[in-house]
Chains A and B, each alone.
Chain A
Amino acid sequence: MRWIWIDRILELKRGAKLVALKNISAAEDVLHDHFAPAPGSAESAPQPPRPLMPHSLIIEGMAQTAGILVGHAGDFKEKVILAKIGKAVFDVAVQPRPGFTIRHSAEMVRYDASGASTSGVTELIDPATGEARKLADIELMFSHIDSNRSGLKFPKENFVFTEQFMHLIRNVEKLED
């Protein structure tokens, strides 16, 4: 399994905004260990539980979306690490199931030498109808770890923005640099 929770970058506006998509597939093993509560009432027949994309991995998808936005703003010279999830509020009535698409829209709130903060909205799109419903509000904070205050040293190479992310960047569909 590859640790990449976005599939496409639709839009990138330098230092301002990045929009990414993630298709949820039943072929992803992780879904089969995580289920939505069985729908129905006490009177109805028990329903089999339905596989669901874990919210923690949806947050990771937003972190990758926003992390690329932050990394791109510094021309990928900084090692951008997710430092804090300031807020992650999900609508549990909107269930991220196989066959649906997640859209992460991340916006830069603040950026400086020490790090960045972002706010974002995650939506669930039904490809059958095109309808998009809000799934979550997610606010994140990133640290540029080479300028952290603890004095720790990290490897010289940029181990954050590996080839799998750079591949996504090279294929951005709408780029405003």
Chain B
Amino acid sequence: MASYDDVFEKVQTVLEDALGVDKEEVTAEATLVGDLGAESIDFLDIVFRLEKAFNIKIQQSELFPDNVLTDPQYVQEGKVTDAGMAELRQRLPHTNLDAFDADRTVDSFPNVFTVDAIVKFVQSKL
């Protein structure tokens, strides 16, 4: 498996190019949406660029699950249910969901997508 630092460096470049941010801003803890200003269309761009940079194939839903938070089985009154949390944990094994689990509001979900989560996801694909 490629080392964390090697993958991190390439992910940094991908995010610099996709989001127009400076290298220094792309820290492991930085969130894509909150800290780096990613919008929904940027996620597609990031997937495309990761595939190219690492020569891997990614289904967009693997990295950013698209239908969990719109499913009434998984979300009630703006909060993710136990079943929803279980589904997210299964779909996003590379992502640390502990902080989100304490909050569970749908609006704060984008904050789970950190640079660290992307690096771990890519490592799992290599």
| Interface status of B109 (Cβ within 8 A of chain A) | no
Known: A84-B42, A84-B45. A149 touches B66 (CB 8 A): yes
A148 to chain B minimum Cβ distance, whole angstroms, is 8
Number of chain A residues whose Cβ lies closer than 8 Å to a Cβ of chain B: 14
Contact of B41 (CB < 8 Å), options: A83, A109, A110, A151: A83
Closest residue to A116 on the B side, CB-wise?
B48
The 8 A CB mask of B23-47 against A (1 = contact, 0 = none) is 0000000000000000011111100
Check B48 against A109 for contact (C-beta < 8 Å): yes
User: Which B residues are CB-close (under 8 A) to A110?
Assistant: 48, 51-52
Check A141 against B44 for contact (C-beta < 8 Å): yes
The 8 A CB mask of A98-142 against B (1 = contact, 0 = none) is 000000000001100011010000000000000000000000010
A115–B51 Cα distance when bound, in Å, is 14
Contact of A84 (CB < 8 Å), options: B41, B51, B70: B41
Check A117 against B43 for contact (C-beta < 8 Å): no
The 8 A CB mask of B95-124 against A (1 = contact, 0 = none) is 000000000000000000000000000000
Check A149 against B45 for contact (C-beta < 8 Å): no
Closest residue to A151 on the B side, CB-wise?
B70
| Interface status of A143 (Cβ within 8 A of chain B) | yes
| Interface status of A150 (Cβ within 8 A of chain B) | yes
User: Which B residues are CB-close (under 8 A) to A115?
Assistant: 44
User: Which A residues are CB-close (under 8 A) to B22?
Assistant: none
| Interface status of B73 (Cβ within 8 A of chain A) | no
Check A141 against B41 for contact (C-beta < 8 Å): yes
A156–B48 Cα distance when bound, in Å, is 27
Known: A114-B60, A149-B64. A109 touches B45 (CB 8 A): no
Contact of A114 (CB < 8 Å), options: B17, B44, B70: B44
Check A109 against B52 for contact (C-beta < 8 Å): yes
A84–B42 Cα distance when bound, in Å, is 8
| Chain A 71-89 interface residues, beta-carbon cutoff 8 Å to B | 83-84, 86
User: Which B residues are CB-close (under 8 A) to A84?
Assistant: 41-42, 45
User: Which B residues are CB-close (under 8 A) to A150?
Assistant: 40
Closest residue to A112 on the B side, CB-wise?
B60
**Chain A residues proximal to chain B, CB less than 8 Å:** 83-84, 86, 109-110, 114-115, 117, 141, 143, 148-151
A-B pairs with the 4 shortest C-beta distances? Answer: A83-B41, A149-B66, A117-B48, A110-B48
**Chain B residues proximal to chain A, CB less than 8 Å:** 17-18, 40-45, 48, 51-52, 60, 64, 66, 70
Q: Supply 5 further A-B pairs (C-beta < 8 A) apart from A117-B48, A141-B45.
A: A83-B41, A86-B18, A141-B48, A149-B60, A151-B70
Q: Would you give 15 A-B contacts (Cβ < 8 Å), ordered by A?
A: A83-B44, A84-B42, A86-B17, A86-B18, A86-B45, A109-B48, A109-B52, A115-B44, A141-B44, A141-B45, A143-B41, A143-B44, A149-B40, A149-B60, A149-B64
